[in-house]
Amino acid sequence: MSSLSLTNICKSFGSVEVLKNISLEVEPGEFVVFVGPSGCGKSTLLRVIAGLEDATAGEVAIEGAVVNDTPPSKRGISMVFQTYALYPHLTVRNNMALGLKQAKHPKSYIDERVDVAAKMLQLDSYLDRRPAELSGGQRQRVAIGRAIVRKPKLFLFDEPLSNLDAALRVNTRLEIARLHRALDASMIYVTHDQTEAMTLADKIVVLRDGRVEQIGSPMALYNQPANLFVAGFIGSPAMNFLPAEMIGESRAKTVGLRPENVQIGDSGPLSGQISHVEQLGSDTMVYVDLNTDKLFTVRLFGQHSHAVGDTVHLGFDHQHLFLFDEQGLRI
């Protein structure tokens, strides 16, 4: 039995259709990430699952039971929001315990659940502090702990790392991955950051304009993108696209090349002038002007001394080419 089953979910706000016939199965213990650009419908879909929005059409089932008419509090889910939504006057312990108190659980059970969650999230020594005395990362862990104590059927995360700085995002991402392994729970996670999607997900759902573009494992989407949109969205730095005629490829309209699959040498089918160089220490990013609408990105491993203004030749192995037809579908 699936943890979550969505069947032909549609959602409209007036005449604006936000979700369009979305179907999805989330298996027990699976970590599923909804990813896509702003406005693609990923947060709206999460809210429909949570019951915070009603589906205009379609069916939401949790553990085999249809929950379209079930209020959020009765769906057996816990949700972690982008904002921490902590009560500033309550301690960490009381913030984490509040939902269980409202559900009239006995104190011994509440204390046990809070202690287990606090230990799991390394919040043991902060239980008597208030949110103002915590860092942003600690507050987000409290919000996650508040979800854990309820033992939900399904965890929902709505861009939980977007308010954290870069270092905290990495650390909290690792904590969420560790938490998923420890709980073996089904989780659905919304983000616009494809790096988060790639590093956390068992399965990624790529959305655009309210539709599912592709569903698959991170490596399946990276290696076998269904179309130009998925190919350009999954992978950092993004895939390069060129008119197929530039390299004499007659089978396709557009070709794609990952930046890491391009070499700079003394000869090659493409040549252009270096527009910008980024020295990252472990990698060097070289941006080449090929007289197309976008700069062509080359990712070189290690440190290289290419200079802005140099003319360079680009080579690649044809087995690394991605071919797309006139509709943008991968051939």
On average, the pLDDT of the chain sits at: 94
Burial category of 108 from C-beta neighbours within 10 Å (exposed 0-12, middle 13-18, buried 19 and up): exposed
CA pseudo-torsion sign 90, 95, 97, 103: positive
In this prediction, residue 166 has a pLDDT band, given cuts at 50, 70 and 90, of confident
Question: Considering only the top CATH level, what class is 237-324?
Answer: mainly beta
71-122 pLDDT, tens digit per residue, is 998 999 999 887 888 999 999 999 999 989 988 999 999 999 999 999 988 8
Q: Which residues pair with 264 in a beta bridge?
A: 314
What does the domain layout of the chain look like in residue ranges?
4-231, 237-324
Look at the domain 4-231 and name its fold: Rossmann fold (3.40.50)
Q: Give the model's confidence band at 1: pLDDT under 50 very low, under 70 low, under 90 confident, else very high.
A: low
**Closest C-alpha to 26, from 8, 10, 45, 5:** 5
pLDDT digit string (tens) for 284-300?
A: 999 999 999 999 999 99
Q: Give the model's pLDDT for residue 112.
A: 94
Question: Is residue 206 a contact partner of residue 233, using CB atoms and an 8 Å limit?
Answer: yes
List Cα–Cα distances, 151 to 45, 53, 260, 270, in angstroms: 22, 23, 43, 56
Is pTM, for the whole model, over 0.75? Answer: yes
**For residue 137, what pLDDT is reported?**
85
Residue 40 has pLDDT above 70, yes or no: yes
Give the whole-angstrom CA distance, residue 163 versus residue 224.
32
Q: How far apart are CA 261 and CA 253, in angstroms?
A: 20
